[in-house]
Structure formats: structure tokens, C-alpha cells
Amino acid sequence: MTEALDFNQQALTPDWLSQAVKARTACHPGLSGIHPLNDGLDAFAARYLLIGLAERTIDIQYYIWQNDMSGRLLFSALLEAATRGVKVRLLLDDNNTPGLDETLAEMNRHPNIAIRLFNPFSFRMLRALGYLTDFARLNRRMHNKSFTVDGVATLVGGRNIGDEYFGTGDEPLFADLDVLAIGPVVQEVSDDFERYWHSKAVAPLQTVVESNGDPREAVRLPEAWQHSEPVLRYMQRLEDTHFVSQLASGTLNMTWAKTRLLSDDPRKGLGKARRGSLLPQRMLEVIGKPQRQFDIISAYFVPTRAGVAQLLALRRNGVDIAILTNSLAANDVAVVHAGYAKWRKKLLRHGIALYELKPQFSINEAPHDRGLTGNSGSSLHAKTFTVDGDKLFIGSFNFDPRSAQLNTEMGLVIESEELAQEMHQRFSQSLRDRAWALRLDKWGRVNWVEFPGEAGEVVHKHEPRCTLWQRLLVRLVWRLPVEWLL
């Protein structure tokens, strides 16, 4: 099947990707080129095609790698790259590898592939036993996401690897975002990968899992999948994309901007990072406090008492604040939603605009709860914010205590008025059709408002498209002392 996915491209000279990138970056000294990947299928195609262009190294770091169509297609592409001599290193968080042990172990047997796990579980089958015996460590996960080829091009953002993250498959589609970056920031991402690869929180796969299988069999698509609609969509996008030709000709749209990587110390995964090195503190140092406008897009938004105080202080200083997160109907972790819902009235009373994304599925199709550290089945998965219309952050960081205190996170701070304004416009426009606006009625109760259409304004008095049981569960949980875990 993978042979059918080979993409057509002109004969490339040795070290083609590096030369193409250097030709563009030479014209913009000190700046990095940023190409947003808003479309899921484009994000898949960029990864697949970059693997095909790699000549020396591929360094990949992810929280989730699903054993589905996109996951297997990319595994297969990595195996082909390794076979032609490319050194592949894959660093995965072990929380979301159930069912992948055999595949990973068989790939790891290839001499050019090395796989390591972050905070690995000792109990491979009954992982809950690990939480019982080693909760303090296993509750800390590596949420970072990066994909770097030949040390000259990198992909950073909110997407994991899986059909739902690329806009296909049976799961709800995520509203997600990551970027292709070239230029100086790529070296920062490469250095950060090395830091994680050699950290004490990481273990080589062979010390955890054994295998004697064939790696090609491990990544082969089942016969039933090979002509399925999702695979055909992947194939069609690979045939249609002009990514390679545009990269070669220098016509791939890039915004050139001062760009910096912010990443947690990997010792955070062991609870040993210095407080001053954590991402929230470093973001404040690099970006500074908003002066005019602050847009937040976060799949999980749990501001906590301290965060609410900071937001209200900004609002008192005249900063316009708008926040988009998942509605309860679109959220797969009810306890996390409870950590946000308890603060809604206070935020609204002080003039902070709240929007909740509508689900893309019916009430009977709502995703099951995945747990505090599990993968998301939510409609919204992006994590980004813009500040004062001239800076933006794109990465893995959610505005919640788990991202701030427990999980390791990373992202890019991009100083670009063009990209920040574009993000603000997309944020504002998407709200009208895809989100409920929250407001307080005259009795101080939260209402969910449909933006006016042909039928006029529609107001919901309770959490829309949710059952009474879901609403009661949220009210119960927000009274429990579990906010630090969310």
C-alpha cells in the first residue's frame, strides 16, 4: 500500500532540502519562516512529504501516536526513510502507547531507528497498577509535539498523530493548528529534542519492551483499510499538494518573523524542575503583560483562582480579553470542564468575553471521558493565544494547572503583526458559526447565545446539548478539591 502513496516529484539533487531552506533563510537573517498548517490533511501531507525528503535525520517527539491509518502510514514512511539510511529518533510519551508495544518494538529493531519512552510504565498490560504504586511520577506526562527533518525544517504546534487530528476518520474532528518553521528557531527545537532525548525521565524502548518480529509487518495496513475512504483522502491530498514544488521554487508562503522556542525543562516530568524554568513564568518574561488585547484559544481552560485574579487585573487595566474553549457537550473530560465552569460567572461579570465551541456530533455520539491524562476527543484541540495584535504563541500548552505544573509543554512565540492579526480575524469569524457566546441574564445566570441568523437570536438557559446528568456531574466536581490535577 505504501508504494501507492509515493509522491511524484522532480529528481532531487543531494541535500536538496537543506539547500532549498538555506536559499530562503539567507534573505532573512535572524528571522524564521513560518507557514501555518490550518488544514488537517495538509498537516498530514507536510509530515509525510518531509519524511520523503529527509536525507540525514528525523527527530520526532509526541504525546500521542495512534495506531490508525495516519499513524501506520507515517510509521511506514519512517521505516522507508530508515532503510535508505536516514537516522530516525522517535520519543513518545508512554501514557498513550497501549496496543503499540509490539509495533514500536519491531520498528526499534531497525538499525537506523531508535525509540524512547517518557516516564514509561512498568506494568505494560495493567497500567492502572502503575498509578497505584508510582502515581507522583506517572501523573506527569510529556505533552510536547515536534517533528524535525535534517535539522532544517520543523513542525511545532498542538497536533498529535492520529486520523482525528488530520481531519479524517471516525472520531470527532479537531479544530487544531501547527506550523512549519525554517530558520534559526529550528536549531532551538533540535537542541531541545536532545535535552529530552537524554533526560532521566526517558528510557530506551528495549529496556521496557522486547520483540522479535518484522517491522514491515508491524506497520502494514490491514487489507480492509487499504481502499477505505480515509486512506483515499490521504492519497488524494498527497497527489494534489504542491508542498514540495513550492518549497523547491521558493513560493511556499512564509511569514518571516523573530521566533523563539519556549519549552519546559524535562526534569519537570520528575517533579524536579525549578519553578522559574516553568513555561508560564517564561512566557510572561518573553511576551510581557498584554496592554490592549488578549485572545485565548484553549481546548482545556482551567484558570484557577490565581489565573482569574491575573485576568481581572488585565481587564481593569483596559485589556480586551476573549476566550474560546470547548463547551461541555464538546468536551471529553467532565472534571476539566468543571474546573472552568466554576469561574464563568466571575469572568463574565468583569467584562471578559467567553465563547464555547459547539460539538460536531450529536448528543448520542459524544466522546467518552478519556481521563485526566488521556487523549482528547473534543472538538477543539488547538492551543494558541495572541497578544496586542503583534505576538502569538502556538504550541502544546493548555491554560490549566496540568500544563502549568505537571506536564511538560513547548511552543513557539512568534513576533508577527501579520500572523497575529490573521489569527485574530480567524478567531473572530469562526465564533459566529461554531460557538456559543456566553452572557449573564438579569438574574445573574449564565446563558448560551446563538449568534443571530435568519431565525434571530436563540438563547439557551442551560448547557446546550447536554443531559441533566452531565450538568449535575460538573456541579458536583467543581466543589471537590481536585483543581490542581486538572
150 catalytic per annotation: yes
Of these residues, 134, 369, 388, 390, which one is catalytic? 388
| Cβ–Cβ < 8 Å for 243, 79 | no
388 a catalytic residue: yes
Q: Which of 35, 145, 268, 358 is catalytic?
A: 145
| Active-site option among 68, 150, 192, 332 | 150
- How far apart are alpha carbons 317 and 290 in whole angstroms? 10
Q: Which residues contact 194 (CB under 8 A, 6 or more apart)?
A: none
The single residue of 35, 143, 342, 358 carrying the catalytic annotation is 143
Can you tell me the distance from the alpha carbon of 234 to that of 331, in angstroms, rounded to the nearest whole number?
Answer: 27
* Catalytic residue (choose from 178, 381, 391, 400): 381
Q: How far is CA 6 from CA 53, 88, 187, 347, 451, in A?
A: 12, 19, 29, 51, 45
Grid cell 529493531 — which residue?
109
Query: Is the CB of residue 334 less than 8 Å from the CB of residue 369?
Result: yes
- Catalytic site residue 383? yes
Residue of 358, 383, 391, 400 marked active site? 383
Can you tell me the distance from the alpha carbon of 365 to that of 120, in angstroms, rounded to the nearest whole number? 32
Q: Which residues are catalytic?
A: 143, 145, 150, 381, 383, 388
